[in-house]
Amino acid sequence: NQLRAGAAHDNGEHRIHIDYRYLVSGINRTYIAPDPNNRRLLDEGMTWEKQLDMVDDLEKALEVGFDATQSMDWQLAFDELVLKFAPLLKSVSNILNSDGDINESIAINATALTLNFCLRFEAASNNSDEFGSGKDFAVYQYVSPYQALKTDADFLIWSSAVSVVGEIVDVIYKVNDLLIPEVYSFMTDNTTSSDLIKNVETARSTIDGLIESLGWIELNYRCERQCNWDEVCYTPSWGPSPMGMTEPGSHNEGFGTHFDESRQRLVINSKLQCININDLMVNRNH
């Protein structure tokens, strides 16, 4: 799978289990910047009263105690969503951004992916089942919790999953609805409509906008090549790390980072690099 080549890093430590039932976060308390590089919990909207409320919630969670066996494994649930949709979204985007003139082959190749997804959730004989059909059924299948939701935090995380998957499903259906008529016209009459270029461009901007909005590591950060057996696809950190230490607000670019003028801070390059033990030895004093 080309999308996952060299991506054996940053998968988390699955031996560590977390109890998410009493998660304390700033969601629904203050503004959360969509750009994680600019995300600050203690921003202007976080009043002292809101901070005290969060501390109070944390104290209550500590009093209850933690038991991961009673909690939904939300990290696993979201990892599965990424593994399912990242290859599909990236593949459709690559097709719609193909070099050369826009023609019917772009619509045919893109809908070869989107149509199968949409048909999977169509109701038989126009009769919807107990879970609904179409988009509703698609969202249900991918966000249906495998444990009972018990706490406010459970429902907060779940509602976020519903929103994200709902947006993804909407985009897949929109791309399919835009391009399927063009494919049908070409297959039946060997012609396409005068709106072919506009429809492809609309589909392209729609799915690329979704990819940018999601900001998933799997969609934006990866090594350009599959790393060799003695290498890892390295994601920089502030440190201390094997490749040195950097300061987020510094203009001094570290290994694999650059200073972003709009954010006024160091950010990680989207094109990651494969490194091996020799690279670590060269940078050991940095």
pLDDT in tens, 81-90: 998 999 999 9
Q: Tell me which range, 17-21, 255-259, 278-282, is most confidently predicted by mean pLDDT.
A: 17-21
Mean pLDDT of 245-271: 81
Residue bearing the bigger pLDDT, 61 or 133? 61
Judge residue 262's burial from the number of C-beta atoms within 10 Å of its C-beta, 0-12 exposed, 13-18 middle, 19 or more buried: exposed
Q: What angle do CA 264, 234, 223 make, to 5 degrees?
A: 90
- Residues whose CB falls within 8 Å of the CB of residue 22, separated by 6 or more in sequence, listed in order: 57, 60, 61, 64, 151, 153
DSSP-derived 3-state class of residue 154:
helix
Structure confidence at residue 175 (pLDDT): 96
Judge residue 273's burial from the number of C-beta atoms within 10 Å of its C-beta, 0-12 exposed, 13-18 middle, 19 or more buried: buried
- Round to whole Å and give the CA distance between 203 and 93: 9
250 to each of 40, 189, 241, 246, 265, how far by Cα in Å? 18, 61, 17, 7, 7
Structure confidence at residue 109 (pLDDT): 93
pLDDT in tens, 102-126: 788 899 999 999 999 998 888 766 6
Structure confidence at residue 242 (pLDDT): 66
pLDDT in tens, 139-194: 999 999 988 898 999 999 999 999 999 999 999 999 999 999 989 988 888 888 88
DSSP-derived 3-state class of residue 114:
helix
pTM summary value: 0.81
Structure confidence at residue 131 (pLDDT): 56
Structure confidence at residue 130 (pLDDT): 54
Per-residue confidence band for 8, with pLDDT thresholds at 50, 70 and 90? very low
Q: How many CB atoms lie within 10 A of CB 69?
A: 8
Rounded to the nearest 5°, which phi and psi values hold at 245? -130, 140
Per the listing, tokens 């399912």 go with 84
Structure confidence at residue 261 (pLDDT): 87
The pairing of beta strand 271-275 with beta strand 222-223: parallel
Chain centroid to Cα 263, Å, comes to: 21
Domain ranges of the chain: 72-220, 232-282
pLDDT at position 31 over 80 = yes
Per-residue confidence band for 4, with pLDDT thresholds at 50, 70 and 90? very low
Structure confidence at residue 284 (pLDDT): 58
